[in-house]
Amino acid sequence: MATRNSRQEAEQLIASLDPSRQYRILDNSVSRRIGRAVAQRQGYTVVEDTGGPMVTAQVTEFEVLEVRHCADCGAEVLTRAIGEDYIVECANCEKRNHEAHKHALAADKAREAERVREVAWRNKWEES
């Protein structure tokens, strides 16, 4: 996963990657319960401190994602698989293709069942 603690680190990562590809930086900063030592070590801003070993801190994370395009409709798809070459589908096309595949399998199964009935009928006819 290409997650960095600052936007500058994320931009440095993008500069080191393949320049022929497109990338986006996603700000995933959230408030999260983490250990006090981790918050201090990472320099996170503490939002709530109850005096225990856990604190609520503003965790800063910038995720670098590669921009791809759906193989079917061309829609922009963000993926964590940076630098990997494989076909990408958007969620809508993936769902549509899955449904089409399900219907094709059901039709194949129905044709096979019909063929088995036909063979059984022929065998029964030949025996009598």
Q: Are 86 and 97 in contact (CB under 8 A)?
A: no
Q: Residue ranges per domain, the chain?
A: 1-89, 90-128
pTM of the model: 0.60
Q: Give yes or no for residue 15 having a pLDDT over 70.
A: yes
pLDDT at 56: 94
Residue 62, judged by CB atoms within 10 A of its CB (0-12, 13-18, 19+), counts as: buried
Instruction: Mention every residue, 6+ apart, whose C-beta is less than 8 A from residue 23.
Output: 14, 17, 64, 65, 66, 67, 82
Higher pLDDT: 87 or 17? It is 17
Q: Give yes or no for residue 4 having a pLDDT over 90.
A: no
Backbone angles phi, psi at 2, to 5 degrees: -100, 75
Q: Are 5 and 60 in contact (CB under 8 A)?
A: yes
Tell me the pLDDT tens digit for each residue of 17-47: 988 999 999 998 889 999 999 999 988 889 9
Q: Give yes or no for residue 55 having a pLDDT over 80.
A: yes
Q: Sign (positive/negative) of CA torsion 48, 44, 32, 52?
A: negative
Average pLDDT, the chain: 88
